[in-house]
Structure 1
Amino acid sequence: MGNSKLVRGTMVLTAATLISKILGFIYVIPFTALVGTTGLALYQFGYSQYVILLSLATMGVPLAVSKFVAKYQSLGDYETGYRLFRSGVVLMTITGTLSFLALFFAAPFLANVMNPGEEDLTQAEVILSIRMVSVALIVVPAMSIIRGYFQGYQSMGPTAVSQVVEQIVRIVFILGAAFTVLNVLNGDMATAVGFATFAAFVGAIGGLAVLAYYWFKRRKGILEQVEKSTVRHNLTLKDMYKELILYALPLSFVGLAIPLFQFVDTYTIKGALIGTEFESISTDFIGVLTQAVHKVVLIPMALATALSVTLIPTITRSFTDGDMKKLKQQTTQTFQIILFIAIPAAVGMAVLAYPIYGALYFENLELGGNVMRYYGPITLCFSLFAVSAALLQGINRQRMAVIALIVGLLIKLVTNVPFLHWFGPNGVIFSSYLGNVVAIGINIWAIAKYGQFDFRLVAKRTLLITVFALIMGGAVYIVTHLLSYVINATSRGDYFILTFVGVTVGAAVYLYLSYRSNLAGRVLGERFSILKRKGKSQG
């Protein structure tokens, strides 16, 4: 698979992921207005369990299946991947149902651990939130294997469209149900949040319907390819699943990176802040950190998410074919694109923290703006870990990605509570940075060693990108600071103006510097040749 397919597949998934992320944070604005930051915390108490169980139920299936299918297709064997697909749908339905039952019946225990007798949220409310979201586990695992099968064909369209439809259906149900419960039926906040978590199941049904459409549309062509397989390995189901699990377990664990870090926060923040001056804001802090601000942080990560999904079958194919030149080109291009987007995004969120939060949410502005300023730049860490882990998985060094995550997570576990005591609520953010940076460092070392990759060019470009991003940040700070003397920000509209002006100035400065230096053309490649200045060297 050439770089053109890598870029094309990445663009399709980037667009879909970006749309999903944007929708995912837009709905939080009216949802926050309906249920408040306490409601957001209750939503997180339920949803965090679901994400963990979902990953365990699917065991990294979409990416593992795409890697498995891509490998055997490159060897001329289409039948093996198809057999895996057929049996996998049944298996994933079984694991999903078992995960649903486990989460449903464990809800009382989990609620007690997370919310020990606080007055703002009762045990019954947390149990309801957990049980309502658990139903989605019956459907989503089976859907994941269908997505993985299409991705193995380097066909990202079904995943992209189903992902967007799933998100739209989910959000419409969340807002519609919450509004109906609170304003039509005069219900309470906990019931509204319970139905909001149930939206995960409703959205999954929508996504599954899209995938079913694509399957019946392409079924004939797929079966013809299966019949024309030039090689047939005739693997037993046991051998197929043994190989799949070897791929899936590390993929599953690495895919849990962000949820696991959030999981640690969800279970430790309230308990660690009891008896401190921050005890009264602990629930609101959880809601702001894990939902409101986190949704914004994930938007710049859309590119990294899409690259990760596209990279694994792409890198696997290059690695299986022994094309090291192409492998190194793909690696270089991947890192440069991620850094070109994520570094200025991180700087921008730190500088515009209060205007962004004020424009989007406004409630608890001081708390939210502070969290955004410190937590916003972590989007760079999340992006780098996702992409570096995907590269390691593509070259069959997934064990190193798992080791990196375990080390990073252990650092998070060990430092989270002490940092909370030393630095207050922001301590959990500093702990996340420390764990992520160490994990990324291990991944980078492993890529250099096992992929024989020289990072000197990437380091050179990173330095230039960072300089431009800092100049951009300085310009944004000066302009918005001066504008704040004219606009006495007292409303969401005022903060929106500050955000709009800041983003516009930042984008203009960064793109101008990138164009004049020819950085944009070098990083983004031939498909963006318009960004290459004539007469400039492309070295």
Structure 2
Amino acid sequence: MSKDTFLKGAFILTVAGIIVKIIGSVNRILLSRLLGGEGIGLYQMAYPIYLLALSVSSAGIPVAISIIVAEKIALSDYRGANRVFRISLGVLAATGLLFTFLLYFGAGWLIDHHFVRDPRAYYAIAALAPAIFFVTVLSSYRGYFQGLQMMTPTAVSQIFEQLLRVITMIAFAYILLPHGLEFAAAGASFGAGPGAAAGLLVLLYFYWKHKPGFKHQMETQPQIIQETSVSIISRIVKLALPVSLANIMLPVVASIDLLIVPARLEVAGYSVEQATELFGYLTGMAVPLVNLATILTASLAASLVPAVSEAFTLGNKQLIYQRTATAMRISNMITIPSFIGMGLLATPISLMLYGTPNAGTSIAILSIGIFLLGVHQVTTGVLQGLGHTAIPVINMALSAVVKVIMSWLLTAMPALGIMGAAWATVADFGVAALLNMFFVYRYTGFSLDIKDTVKAIAASAVMGAVVLLAYDALMSYTLRNTVATIGAIAAGGTVFGTVFLLVGGVQARDIEQLPRIGEQLAALLIKLRLLRR
């Protein structure tokens, strides 16, 4: 039994995240074609309930369990770590069952009291009930494995969960479509249950596979006084609640945007139709690209939590600093060139992906948020690992206030319009990142390494020049935007990687921690004199 190294775990989660995103994108396309606008509308009336359950169980609870388990493992208390898992599993199984029954029998109440306006959505809501139980239970397993710094079980379970969810959604929607749109939407909703069950079965497989190793460690460990059940449950709730609130804040802030931005665009002189169109460019096209570019930094944050918690428990401040610095260096290596590349190619990317150049302005402004969001995610992981899970939530709340004020003021200015809303979103990321950085410095002494950051900026600047030249050259040669955009991105990525290696932005140990190919790749780059030890 061997735990994944910190960077290796982040890489594994990143690959899984990309695969899950691809499967999800295919699902959206197929389901939209199958159900049409009205059917998707019925499905979307139920789906936020599942997202709410997912945001609580897949964010707060695994993080809390992983922190406590990592603490126990750092002290060689394997029996205590297993006890945390068993207690959390029992509690979550009970609460999952409770909420499953509440949702199933409460679906009619939601319709009768007009919380959901269309009565046809009843079936879609009731069909989600089984998913609540499975999603809640599997969060306990994910938290346990993450606390052991074994990211492979979580990654594999995420892929299987998404894959089976999509297959069953499409299958049941297709089978039930002849009976009416409401039943087809219910079939799509029901897919969440088998998907979560598949994810749980994968985690059970990994648990039973490693159970002999767990048992051996528990039998050979020294006698350690065990924490009481009440204390463990209390700590899980205390650590999980802020993380869950932070996750819930994301759709809340999005809802605030929905209330403010279109209305303020009308004040700026746009018609209702124009305001809706511009809002779609910002939230439906630009924001997803920023989230896509930060998959790696989100994975770094998840991998960082147990790694920092382990070092903190051992009182190893130097290791905390080192892991934080490594994560931030890797984050900058991804987010700085992504921000510059997306900013320069914003309009071509908009035309390539969405068939319109009109989202280019919003994408260009929000591209700055890629770097800021990366800093925010990494620092959140550090603070959570230190046990300060409430601090990132408070910082998010403060940054949300700034965003609301700026959206209200800037969006109504005719000279800015939707650009004002985009700048408000960038400010939201920036304020949250700066506040997090302040507390990370306060607790660990870490601040951004200017030398490493300058290397990333310099390599990105060279990349930016190549991207513009490559795009113009390919456009004049092929006259096809998609070919020119993909070619420019490929050329830019190659140049950035080469220049960044030459200026010493990557260390050999970073490459060596890549799964399977790391050591061989590092040796090859050293031989080619592109990498130094």
TM-score, reference length from structure 1: 0.82
Q: Does 1:202 align with 2:197?
A: no
Q: For 1:50-94, what per-residue CA distance to the aligned partner results, in whole angstroms no more than 9, with x for missing partners?
A: 434433456711111111111112223222222232232232234
Select the residue among 449, 469, 483 that pairs with 1:497.
483
Q: Does 1:299 align with 2:285?
A: no
Match runs of 1:408-419 below 5 Å? 408-419=399-410
CA-CA distance at 1:339 after TM superposition = 0.6
Select the residue among 360, 364, 369 that pairs with 1:373.
364
Distance 2:425 2:114 in 1: 24
Q: Structure with the greater relative contact order (CA < 8 A, sep ≥ 6): 1 or 2?
A: 1
Q: Secondary structure at the match of 1:161?
A: helix
Distance 1:317 1:178 in 2: 46
Instruction: Specify whether residues 270 and 319 from structure 1 end up closer, same or farther in structure 2 by C-alpha distance, changes over 3 A only.
Output: same
CA-based RMSD of the aligned residues comes to 3.7
Q: For 1:436-460, what per-residue CA distance to the aligned partner results, in whole angstroms no more than 9, with x for missing partners?
A: 10111011111112112243xx222
Q: Secondary structure at the match of 1:520?
A: coil
Equivalent position of 2:516 in the other structure: none
Q: Does 1:510 align with 2:496?
A: yes
Counterpart of 1:91, as a letter, is V
After TM superposition, the structure 1 stretch with the greater mean CA deviation from structure 2, 526-535 or 347-356, is 526-535
Match runs of 1:34-433 below 5 Å? 47-56=47-56, 60-97=60-97, 99=99, 101=102, 104=107, 123=118, 136-176=131-171, 185=178, 195-256=187-248, 258-266=250-258, 268-269=260-261, 277-280=270-273, 289-290=282-283, 293-362=286-355, 365-422=356-413, 423-433=416-426
Counterpart of 2:153, as a letter, is P
Instruction: Specify whether residues 264 and 128 from structure 1 end up closer, same or farther in structure 2 by C-alpha distance, changes over 3 A only.
Output: farther
Counterpart of 1:388, as a letter, is T
Distance 1:380 1:33 in 2: 35
Distance 2:359 2:36 in 1: 13
| Conserved? CA contact 1:48–1:262, under 8 Å | no
Counterpart of 1:161, as a letter, is V
| Conserved? CA contact 2:373–2:433, under 8 Å | no
CA-CA distance at 1:381 after TM superposition = 2.7
Counting aligned pairs with the same residue, the percent is: 26
| Conserved? CA contact 1:18–1:303, under 8 Å | no
CA-CA distance at 1:208 after TM superposition = 1.4
| Conserved? CA contact 1:278–1:425, under 8 Å | no
Equivalent position of 2:7 in the other structure: 7
Distance 2:298 2:344 in 1: 24
Equivalent position of 1:491 in the other structure: none
After TM superposition, the structure 1 stretch with the greater mean CA deviation from structure 2, 329-338 or 10-19, is 10-19
Equivalent position of 1:16 in the other structure: 16
Q: How many residues align?
A: 518
Q: Does 1:519 align with 2:514?
A: no
| Conserved? CA contact 2:57–2:135, under 8 Å | no
Instruction: Specify whether residues 193 and 484 from structure 1 end up closer, same or farther in structure 2 by C-alpha distance, changes over 3 A only.
Output: farther
CA-CA distance at 1:435 after TM superposition = 1.4
Select the residue among 434, 438, 457 that pairs with 2:431.
438
| Conserved? CA contact 1:167–1:203, under 8 Å | yes
Distance 2:365 2:136 in 1: 35
After TM superposition, the structure 1 stretch with the greater mean CA deviation from structure 2, 264-273 or 375-384, is 264-273
Q: Secondary structure at the match of 1:472?
A: helix
TM-score, reference length from structure 2: 0.83
CA-CA distance at 1:332 after TM superposition = 1.0
Instruction: Specify whether residues 257 and 303 from structure 1 end up closer, same or farther in structure 2 by C-alpha distance, changes over 3 A only.
Output: farther
Q: Which runs of 5+ in 2 are unaligned?
A: 514-521
Distance 2:335 2:243 in 1: 23
Q: Which runs of 5+ in 1 are unaligned?
A: 114-121, 489-493
Distance 2:444 2:261 in 1: 39
Distance 2:4 2:452 in 1: 22
Instruction: Specify whether residues 295 and 537 from structure 1 end up closer, same or farther in structure 2 by C-alpha distance, changes over 3 A only.
Output: closer
Instruction: Specify whether residues 293 and 373 from structure 1 end up closer, same or farther in structure 2 by C-alpha distance, changes over 3 A only.
Output: same
CA-CA distance at 1:271 after TM superposition = 5.6
Distance 1:29 1:92 in 2: 34
| Conserved? CA contact 1:515–1:533, under 8 Å | no
Instruction: Specify whether residues 288 and 86 from structure 1 end up closer, same or farther in structure 2 by C-alpha distance, changes over 3 A only.
Output: farther
| Conserved? CA contact 1:300–1:345, under 8 Å | yes
Q: For 1:170-194, what per-residue CA distance to the aligned partner results, in whole angstroms no more than 9, with x for missing partners?
A: 233445556667xx74965x87666
Distance 2:284 2:160 in 1: 21
Instruction: Specify whether residues 227 and 521 from structure 1 end up closer, same or farther in structure 2 by C-alpha distance, changes over 3 A only.
Output: closer
Counterpart of 1:7, as a letter, is L
Q: For 1:201-221, what per-residue CA distance to the aligned partner results, in whole angstroms no more than 9, with x for missing partners?
A: 332122112112222323333
CA-CA distance at 1:507 after TM superposition = 1.0
Instruction: Specify whether residues 64 and 409 from structure 1 end up closer, same or farther in structure 2 by C-alpha distance, changes over 3 A only.
Output: same
After TM superposition, the structure 1 stretch with the greater mean CA deviation from structure 2, 58-67 or 281-290, is 281-290
| Conserved? CA contact 1:473–1:506, under 8 Å | yes
CA-CA distance at 1:426 after TM superposition = 4.3
After TM superposition, the structure 1 stretch with the greater mean CA deviation from structure 2, 461-470 or 168-177, is 168-177
Distance 2:97 2:295 in 1: 30
